[in-house]
Amino acid sequence: MNGLAAALGDLLPAALGVAISPLPIIATVLMLLSQRARVTAPAFAVGWVLGITAVLVVVLLVAGPDGVDTGGSSDLTSWVKLVLGLLFALLALRTWHSRPRPGVAAEPPKWMASLDRTTPLVALGLGAALSAANPKNLALAVTGGVAIASNDLSTTQTVVSVVVFVVIASLLVAGPVVAFLVAGDRMAGPLTGLKDVMQVHNTAIMVVLFAVLALSNIGKGLGGLLG
């Protein structure tokens, strides 16, 4: 159980980082406010879950049945964390430098304009792409996979860790979809509010998130290499 607790503690920040993804959240809300909400939004959420799960499974397969060697003879985990920390630092700088000028509204990606007319199959692929192919989410999912592989877990504990990561990482994408399917049009107001918050504060949210993840991973990486 100690190994499982350690794995869950290590993967929690990465899972929360995936969950806080403004553009996918906005895309989810736009689909939920469209006329085809009950078919496109669930497909998008399923694609999101499948994309995250696929990255975790690939990392665990690469690590092998023995996981990542975290003994004193191996610095692999520390190097991975250090590299990921540097990647998050670069993403923070890139996000900051590409921020809109003061008083200028951020332009949404062009693909968002067609979300109200998209098909379930396209929504499924888009969800998978935004979760697994997005550099930020890909790095975070790899971080989560390394956290799982770095602990001496049984098969059952590994499955539990993967499920926990995916559930937390999907809270703000799949969560609104489930809420809409249950509550229907009563969710229109809260969903619109969520979309507006994500649009207005997108840059600030992402810069702070990347900075925290960069400091955390660089600190852990250097601590492991120098300790």
Mind listing the pLDDT tens digit for each residue in 119-142?
Answer: 999 999 999 999 998 888 998 898
Q: Rounded CA gap, 137 and 46, in Å?
A: 16
User: What is the model's pTM?
Assistant: 0.83
Residue 10: which residues within 8 A CB-CB, separation 6 or more? 147, 150, 151
Q: How many CB atoms lie within 10 A of CB 125?
A: 16
Q: How far apart are the first and last CA of the chain?
A: 26
Q: What is the pLDDT of residues 32-55, one digit of tens each?
A: 988 889 999 999 999 999 999 999
